[in-house]
Amino acid sequence: MKTYERIRNYLNAFLHLFYPQICFGCGTDQLEKEMPLCDHCINELPITDFFSIDENPVEKIFWGRAPVLHAGALLFFTKDSLVQDLIAQLKYHHNKKVGILLGRLIGKEIAAAEKFNQIDLLIPIPIRSSKINSRGYNQSQVIAIGIKQVWNRPVETQVLLKKSWSNTQTKKNRSARLRQVPELFVLQNAECIRGKNILIIDDVLTTGATLEAAIVCLMTGDPASVSIAVAAYTL
Ligand SMILES: [Zn+2]
């Protein structure tokens, strides 16, 4: 991205703080209520179409690592892009509206891709409670709420929990040849997911390590299947 575009994005983000009724992408005031972006900027977002593509790059990330039925990402994430700014707004600038919008866009894509029809419930990737305290919300849960607004599935937040720092040490007594999946999560109320088709929700996918750890944990609750929907996929 060119420097002036970067500066323009920065200024728009700054203005948006004081004038939340202007578009975060282009600065227009032609905005629908509670939307961070105008229709034009929404249409310009780098949509991957992965939700309707079998064997897409997001699904391939988990091949040989974890049993994933379907997976997809809404947007391509690149450095110095509007998508990067949107994710930063959601994670570091208390801009919950961005998460709702991303969720609604995911919901529309998933509803159009019929292979997701069998999903019974949405499980957002949990974050540590200290982060919820500083951020005010779990960004993946906000995305899940956005999805639910357009594609009605229950959001389950009491099954997959993040472990506290003190007990996330990976077990050191396993064979060195086995690739270790860190035990980041703990399962409770397992009966809620037994025999169910789960859709895990996350904000950004990079290596897939966090999602892999979540899937390994969820599988101990014996779900029928696990699928994945993320807002952005890093190239
Ligand atoms: Zn705009």
Sign of CA dihedral 213, 59, 227, 92: positive
Asked if residues 71 and 229 have their Cβ atoms less than 8 Å apart, the reply is yes
* 116 pLDDT more than 90: yes
User: Hey, is 193 helix, strand or coil?
Assistant: coil
Residues within 5 A (CB) of ion ligand 1: 23, 25-26, 38, 41
Q: 187 alpha carbon to ligand 1 midpoint, in Å?
A: 41
Predicted pLDDT of residue 191: 97
Q: 2 alpha carbon to ligand 1 midpoint, in Å?
A: 18
Q: 36 alpha carbon to ligand 1 midpoint, in Å?
A: 9
Residue 123 neighbours by CB distance under 10 Å:
27
Q: 22 alpha carbon to ligand 1 midpoint, in Å?
A: 8
Q: What is the average pLDDT value for the chain, to the nearest integer?
A: 90
Give per-residue burial for 192-229: e unless 16+ CB within 10 Å, then b: bbeebbbbbbbbbbeebebbbbbbbbbeebebebbbbb
Predicted pLDDT of residue 16: 66
Q: 16 alpha carbon to ligand 1 midpoint, in Å?
A: 11
Q: 82 alpha carbon to ligand 1 midpoint, in Å?
A: 11
Which of 52-61, 85-94, 158-167 is least confident? 158-167
Give tens-digit pLDDT for 138-160: 999 999 999 999 999 999 999 99
pTM of the model: 0.88
Q: 44 alpha carbon to ligand 1 midpoint, in Å?
A: 9
Q: 77 alpha carbon to ligand 1 midpoint, in Å?
A: 18
Using a pLDDT cut of 70, give the percent of the chain over it.
90
Which positions ≥6 away from 199 have C-beta within 8 Å?
110, 116, 119, 121, 122, 123, 153, 227, 228, 229
Q: 122 alpha carbon to ligand 1 midpoint, in Å?
A: 30
Predicted pLDDT of residue 24: 87
Give which of 118, 94, 110, 186 is closest to 148, Cα–Cα. 110
What is the Cα–Cα distance from 58 to 72, expressed in whole angstroms?
6
Q: Residue 141 corresponds to which tokens in the numbers above? A: 């849960």
Q: 23 alpha carbon to ligand 1 midpoint, in Å?
A: 5
Predicted pLDDT of residue 177: 44
Q: 59 alpha carbon to ligand 1 midpoint, in Å?
A: 31
Q: How confident is the model at residue 10 (pLDDT cuts 50, 70, 90)?
A: confident
Q: 43 alpha carbon to ligand 1 midpoint, in Å?
A: 9
Q: How confident is the model at residue 185 (pLDDT cuts 50, 70, 90)?
A: very high
Where are the alpha helices (H) located in 79-204, listed in sequence order?
A: 82-92, 96-112, 129-135, 139-150
Predicted pLDDT of residue 7: 80
Q: 100 alpha carbon to ligand 1 midpoint, in Å?
A: 17
